[in-house]
Amino acid sequence: MSTAAQVLAVAIGVMLVAVFVMEAFLYRNPRLYPMFLIEPHEYEAVRMWTVNVGFYNLTTAVAMFAGVALARGDHLPQGEALVVFTAAQHVFLAFVLLATRPKLWLNSVLEGVPAAVLLALVLF
């Protein structure tokens, strides 16, 4: 796996950790309303969703970091497979987000474009 792919994979992982913190712990912050499209009276109703999705993003960040670590070690095919799967998953989920909530198109772009670039770097 190229150095560029590894750097991008780590950057995506860091981004996913930041999203984890926002979703799991900071979702009540009014500045994040554009990202979550929730109102203060909805916080308790969406708490389980935001916390669970936050931890989902944390686990995919860990998968991205683990893939890079494996690729840098003696397990290149396994590391690349983990990075490719995780990146492909986020490209797919970006399309799902766009289809289900077009108003969040920027979130879809921020999730899908880096992951698509990473896929291209690893696969081609």
Residue 42 scores a pLDDT above 90:
no
Using one digit for the tens of pLDDT, what is the confidence trace for 71-89? 999 999 999 999 999 999 9
**4, 11 in Cβ contact below 8 A?**
no
SS3 1: coil
> Residue type at 72?
R
On whether the pTM is more than 0.85, the answer is yes
pLDDT band at 120 (very low <50, low <70, confident <90, very high): very high
Q: Write down the domain spans for the chain.
A: 3-123
Query: Tell me, what's the pLDDT at 44?
Result: 84
- Alpha-carbon distances, residue 56 vs 1, 40, 61 (angstroms): 25, 23, 9
Condensed to tens digits (0 to 9), the pLDDT of residues 25-36 reads 998 888 888 778
Measured CA to CA, the distance from residue 42 to residue 46 in angstroms comes to: 6
- How many CB atoms within 10 Å of residue 75? 15
